Chains A and B, each alone.
Chain A
Amino acid sequence: MNLKVYDKIKHSIRWWLLRRLPTCKQTVKAISESMERRLSLRERINVKLHLWICLWCVWYLEHLQLMRDTIRSKATQELNLDPSSLPPLSPEARERMKLKLSQHHD
């Protein structure tokens, strides 16, 4: 019974907060900007409170971080070790470059 009352109060607080805090649209913009600059104290509090009550925005933040980590890891790994995802230089381009290099060297 007590647990039910607790859940009801928690739900009401979340509901009340969600109506007063910046919207999801404003929050996802702030989340993106937090990856570029330090947010103001007010912005940080708003984002934190919003994330406390909105799982969709929590996932949004996680997805941006995952995209960044994945892309940067891929960019820094030795691309030669991963022949599957990127094609090599074509034989024609290879020959053309060799010709250019020999012409310019002469």
Chain B
Amino acid sequence: MFDLVASIRMSEPQRTAQSQSPDFSAWVDQHGDYLYKYALFRLRDGSAAEDAVQETFLAALKAYRGFEGRGSERTWLVGILKHKVTDHFRRITREAPIGETEDETFEHNEFFTRTDEWTNHWNADYAPSDWHATPAELIERSDFWKVLNDCLSPLPKRTASAFTLREVDGLSSEEICEVLSISVNNLWVMLHRARLHLRNCLERNWFMKEATH
């Protein structure tokens, strides 16, 4: 599904692209920042993002003859980078300790009461409040993205990867399960835990502070 070579070879070679070899190092100035930001937004790790961009340029160099030139060069490079980012998630989750999915730290049982009468209903200390926010307002706030990153950081690697692949790139459950080698039920549990944790973290570290300003 994420076969890079196959995706690159899908295009028919274009003769003009073969005959004129461009200045490949100029790619770094033309597309470097864009690709780096694209990777950094997903990987949240500067050196991993740099590695993904460098691998993208080198893969593009090798595959340049297969670039048909109909689309823009940047779109083609982003297509390669997508695979490199997915490969990164595949690699880090392979290296993550087995049984991480069983980690119940992020089950967040404390969010719900344990009293006899209202067991497993919201604990008032952790219950959601009205955020009064829209995506358009939040997108412009760079400090919001910093808080979001900080909230994602403590999540187990598999869980954070699943959340990023689902919510950032909108991959289907089947695609994510293939990348992370997990069952669909495991994926749903991970996404649920990630959302439960993130929502609470954002409320405490962003929305509550914003409300007091």
Interface of A toward B, CB cutoff 8 Å: 18, 23-26, 28-29, 32-33, 35-37, 54, 56-57, 59-60, 62-64, 66-75, 77, 79-80, 84-90, 93-94, 96-98, 100-102, 104-105
A85-B168 CB under 8 A given contacts A25-B120, A60-B128, A64-B199: no
Q: How many A-B residue pairs have CB under 8 A?
A: 147
The 10 sampled A-B contact pairs (Cβ below 8 Å) are A23-B112, A32-B188, A62-B131, A63-B203, A64-B199, A66-B131, A67-B198, A75-B168, A101-B25, A101-B27
A36 touches B61 (CB 8 A): no
Give complex CA distance A56, B199 in Å: 13
Contacts of A72 in B (CB 8 A): 167-168, 170
Name the A residues within 8 Å of B202 (CB-CB): 63, 67
| Given known contacts A56-B127, A59-B129, A94-B32, A24 and B138 CB-to-CB distance under 8 angstroms | no
A residues near B53, Cβ cutoff 8 Å: 89, 93, 97
Given contacts A62-B131, A101-B57, A102-B24, contact A86 B41 (CB under 8 A): yes
Chain A residues, Cβ within 8 Å of B112: 23-25
Q: Which residue of B lies closest to A23 (CB)?
A: B120
Q: Tell me if B122 counts as interface (CB < 8 A to partner A).
A: yes
B58 within 8 A of A: yes
Could you tell me which residues of chain B, from 11 to 59, have a CB within 8 Å of some CB in chain A? 21, 24-25, 27-29, 32-34, 36-38, 40-42, 46, 50, 53-54, 57-58
Contact status of A84 and B24, CB under 8 A, knowing A33-B188, A72-B167, A75-B41: no
Q: Is the interface of A mostly helix, strand, loop or mixed?
A: helix
> Which residue in chain A gives the minimum CB-CB distance to B38?
A79
Report how far A35 CA is from B196 CA in the complex, Å.
14
Instruction: Determine the distance from Cα of A16 to Cα of B19 in the docked complex, in whole angstroms.
Output: 77
Within the complex, what minimum Cβ distance (angstroms) separates A106 from chain B? Answer: 10
Q: Which residues in A have their C-beta under 8 angstroms from that of B121?
A: 18, 23-25, 54
Complex Cα–Cα for A80 and B173 (A): 30
* Closest partner residue, chain A, to B146 (CB atom): A85
Which of B41, B58, B167 meets A79, CB within 8 Å? B41
Taking CB atoms and an 8 Å cut-off, the chain B residues in 99-148 that contact chain A are 111-112, 119-122, 127-131, 133-136, 138-139, 142, 145-146, 148
Residues of chain A lying within 8 A (CB to CB) of residue B192: 28-29, 32-33
